């Protein structure tokens, strides 16, 4: 059985187990639940402060938000404060989004997953997008990005934020472009700034800004197999090149920092020149932009503004580590936030898998947040099922990375599930699964009867061939004693045994 519990106000999913086994507590992103017409209660309203989380951390103050995430992560509050103060972690929390439950993004903490949603010109309604956001957090989304384009963009975002228990990210250039009817050349700094202010007032917690796409870098993409694949990146590249001017996001970066500081908005420095194919991975264009993102990271920190840095994209496995190492070096340890990366280009319709491989690896190397990829990537807009498929693949990648990094407590979940499996506690195994419904349904397909849920074997091998049943019998035959005898005798195991 699963139930929601609160520890000093911090939510967890508690999995209650049978046979006297200790319950297991899992990280819970689903929020308290809301009536979409009313929105969520303003949890953080009483905690408001005049400082950003970064300024507080630097001043040695553990904010209520930091205390909350310390409980959530199972670590000391001082670790949270110190990592935020050093810029190695961010706690995205716009003052105007008091409904969100605090969370932290940084390499010392659990690896996080972002889900992208959003209306487009032709599909989706406001209600559908709110439902997709709720659905994503139900499957473990730690943050959600609203990438809406098309009409009703303000209204959609308002509904999402008022109902979101997790931080909401946006890419303001999309809305700015709508305001000039889709012509990048009509974009101006003033128009962009006003769009940022509009979204800041609504409570957007972090914003992707493609301030690293500089005029001299654009020609570096000319020989690429897939050119520029970031929407924001291509918009800014077109602007720079057509006007022969430097990117206005770069030239006005300090003013942008002052706005972000006022609301405590976190930068997500966009990688507008990220590779869109295996052939283009780790090329000059990508790394030139990364150097500029490093420079901008340090400038934002001067304004007490929190920063994440976005990363690729499409990268073959042997080139993944270089991305993390370089990002850590150039960006002073600011959290890395990557899209996958996809480890091959040949499997459209399965890019949640091609990219889960890269995501797990880049997470192991220190990436703090993974942006999910759904099966519809490159092909169409994700529906509800695609959102779930993407989330599950990425929760797997994130948890595999937590295990590989030795995150305290991460393996308890695996151990509890494996112990349930070995002891034929089928119901416990299902309840501990990332997706209990599907695990149960698959078991039912071959052995639907209720007694099968307590059987000491399963449909795969049947009773005769069940290795786990035989293992239990071996134990009952006094294995434990034999084991002790064996150890006492000096253990011949490692001597070469020649015939």
The pairing of strands 266-269 and 206-209 is parallel
Q: Does 187 bind a copy of itself (CB under 8 A)?
A: no
Provide the 3-class DSSP secondary structure of residue 6: strand
Q: How many chain residues are in contact with a copy of itself, going by CB under 8 A? A: 139
For a copy of itself, the closer of residues 103 and 420 by Cβ is 420
Known binding residue 116? Answer is: yes
Dihedral angle at the C-alpha atoms of 170, 274, 301, 202, nearest 10 degrees? 0
Position among 209, 229, 305, 328 found at the interface with a copy of itself (CB under 8 A): 229
Q: Does 7 bind a copy of itself (CB under 8 A)?
A: no
Position among 190, 223, 245, 325 found at the interface with a copy of itself (CB under 8 A): 223
Shortest spacing between CB 178 and a copy of itself, in angstroms: 8
For a copy of itself, the closer of residues 84 and 342 by Cβ is 342
Known binding residue 240? Answer is: no
Position among 32, 78, 349, 456 found at the interface with a copy of itself (CB under 8 A): 349
Shortest spacing between CB 314 and a copy of itself, in angstroms: 8
Known binding residue 472? Answer is: no
**Contact between residue 428 and residue 2 where contact means Cβ atoms under 8 Å apart:** no
Task: Calculate the alpha carbon distances from 125 to 117, 150, 152, 156 in Å.
Answer: 12, 11, 9, 8
**DSSP symbol at 17:** -
Q: Does 346 bind a copy of itself (CB under 8 A)?
A: yes
Tokens of residue 204, six digits: 């957007």
Tell me: cis bond preceding 152? Omega within 30 of 0 counts: no
Environment class of residue 50 by beta-carbon count within 10 Å: exposed (0-12), middle (13-18) or buried (19+)?
Answer: exposed
Tokens of residue 435, six digits: 């997706």
Q: Does 451 bind a copy of itself (CB under 8 A)?
A: no
Residues paired with residue 10 on neighbouring β-strands, in sequence order? 7
**Contact between residue 304 and residue 51 where contact means Cβ atoms under 8 Å apart:** yes
Q: How many residues comprise the chain? A: 499
Cα distance between residue 287 and residue 327, in whole Å: 9
Cα distance between residue 307 and residue 487, in whole Å: 54
Q: Does 350 bind a copy of itself (CB under 8 A)?
A: yes
Cα distance between residue 293 and residue 330, in whole Å: 8
In the region spanning residues 203 to 222, those forming contacts with a copy of itself, defined by CB under 8 A, are 214, 216-222
CA 3 to chain centre: 24
In the region spanning residues 230 to 249, those forming contacts with a copy of itself, defined by CB under 8 A, are 230-231, 233-235, 237-238, 241-242
Tell me: cis bond preceding 264? Omega within 30 of 0 counts: no
Q: Applying CB under 8 A, which part among 64-72, 90-98, 176-184, 303-311 lies near a copy of itself?
A: 176-184
Sorted by sequence, the CB contacts under 8 Å of residue 334 that are 6+ apart come out as: 87, 88, 90, 297, 307, 308, 309
Shortest spacing between CB 155 and a copy of itself, in angstroms: 19
Known binding residue 456? Answer is: no
In the region spanning residues 253 to 312, those forming contacts with a copy of itself, defined by CB under 8 A, are 253-254, 276-279, 284, 288, 291-292, 295, 299
Phi-psi region of 117 (alpha: psi -120 to 50; beta: other; left: phi over 0): beta
For a copy of itself, the closer of residues 38 and 467 by Cβ is 467
Radius of gyration, CA atoms only, the chain: 25
For a copy of itself, the closer of residues 127 and 279 by Cβ is 279
For a copy of itself, the closer of residues 61 and 439 by Cβ is 439
For a copy of itself, the closer of residues 46 and 462 by Cβ is 462
**Contact between residue 326 and residue 281 where contact means Cβ atoms under 8 Å apart:** no
Which residue has tokens 């706690």? 91
Sorted by sequence, the CB contacts under 8 Å of residue 467 that are 6+ apart come out as: 461
In the region spanning residues 102 to 131, those forming contacts with a copy of itself, defined by CB under 8 A, are 120-123
DSSP tally for the chain: helices H, then strands E: 19, 13
Q: Applying CB under 8 A, which part among 96-104, 134-142, 192-200, 439-447 lies near a copy of itself?
A: 439-447
Q: Does 433 bind a copy of itself (CB under 8 A)?
A: yes
For a copy of itself, the closer of residues 58 and 440 by Cβ is 440
Provide the 3-class DSSP secondary structure of residue 308: strand
In the region spanning residues 459 to 498, those forming contacts with a copy of itself, defined by CB under 8 A, are 459-462, 464-468, 470-475, 477, 479-480, 482-483, 485-486, 492-494, 496-498
In the region spanning residues 306 to 345, those forming contacts with a copy of itself, defined by CB under 8 A, are 314, 316-318, 343-345
Position among 445, 449, 450, 451 found at the interface with a copy of itself (CB under 8 A): 445
In the region spanning residues 385 to 414, those forming contacts with a copy of itself, defined by CB under 8 A, are 392-393, 395-397, 399-401, 403-406, 411, 413-414
Provide the 3-class DSSP secondary structure of residue 301: helix
Binding residues for substrate: 116, 145, 174, 210, 230-232, 271-274, 310, 337
Binding residues for Zn(2+): 314, 378
Binding residues: 116, 145, 174, 210, 230-232, 271-274, 310, 314, 337, 378, 458, 461, 466
């Amino acid at each position: 059985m699963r139930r929601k519990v609160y520890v000093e106000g911090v939510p967890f999913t508690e999995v209650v187990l049978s046979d006297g086994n200790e319950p297991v507590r899992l990280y819970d992103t689903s929020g308290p639940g809301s009536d979409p017409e009313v929105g969520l209660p303003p949890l953080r309203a009483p905690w408001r402060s005049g400082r950003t989380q970064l300024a507080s951390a630097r001043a040695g103050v553990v904010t209520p938000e930091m205390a909350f995430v310390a409980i959530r992560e199972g670590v000391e509050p001082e670790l949270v404060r110190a990592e935020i103060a050093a810029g190695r972690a961010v706690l995205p929390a716009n003052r105007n989004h008091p409904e969100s439950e605090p969370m932290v993004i940084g390499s010392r903490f659990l690896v996080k997953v972002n889900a992208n949603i959003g209306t487009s010109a032709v599909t989706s309604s406001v209600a559908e997008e709110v439902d997709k956001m709720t659905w994503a957090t139900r499957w473990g989304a730690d943050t959600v990005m609203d990438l809406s384009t098309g009409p009703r963009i303000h209204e959609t975002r308002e509904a999402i934020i008022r109902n979101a228990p997790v931080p909401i990210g946006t890419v303001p250039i999309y809305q700015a472009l709508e305001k000039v009817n889709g012509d990048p050349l009509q974009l101006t700094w003033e128009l962009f700034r006003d769009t940022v202010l509009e979204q800041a007032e609504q409570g957007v917690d972090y914003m992707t800004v493609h301030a690293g796409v500089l005029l001299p870098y654009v020609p570096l993409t000319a020989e690429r197999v897939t050119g520029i694949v970031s929407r924001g990146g291509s918009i800014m590249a077109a602007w720079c090149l057509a006007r022969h001017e430097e990117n206005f996001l770069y030239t006005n970066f300090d003013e942008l920092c002052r706005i972000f500081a006022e609301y405590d908005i976190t930068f997500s420095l966009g990688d507008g020149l990220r590779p869109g194919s295996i052939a283009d991975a780790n090329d000059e264009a990508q790394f030139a932009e990364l150097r500029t993102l490093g420079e901008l990271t340090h400038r934002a920190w001067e304004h007490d503004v929190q920063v994440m840095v976005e990363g690729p994209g499409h990268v073959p496995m042997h080139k993944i580590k270089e991305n993390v190492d370089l990002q850590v070096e150039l960006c002073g340890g600011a959290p890395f936030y990557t899209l996958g990366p996809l480890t091959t280009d040949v499997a459209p319709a399965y890019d949640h898998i091609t990219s889960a491989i890269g995501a797990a690896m880049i997470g192991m190397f220190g990436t703090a947040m993974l942006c999910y990829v759904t099966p519809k990537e490159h092909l169409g807009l994700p529906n509800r099922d695609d959102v779930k498929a993407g989330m599950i693949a990425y929760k797997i990648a994130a948890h595999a990375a937590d295990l590989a990094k030795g995150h305290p407590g991460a393996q308890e979940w695996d151990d509890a599930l494996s112990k349930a499996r070995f002891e034929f506690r089928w119901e416990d195994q299902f309840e501990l699964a990332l997706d209990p419904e599907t695990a149960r349904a698959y078991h039912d397909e071959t052995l639907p009867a209720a007694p099968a849920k307590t059987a000491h074997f399963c449909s795969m091998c049947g009773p005769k061939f069940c290795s786990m049943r035989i293992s239990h019998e071996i134990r009952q035959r006094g294995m434990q004693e034999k084991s002790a005898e064996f150890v006492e005798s000096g253990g011949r195991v490692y001597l070469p045994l020649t015939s």
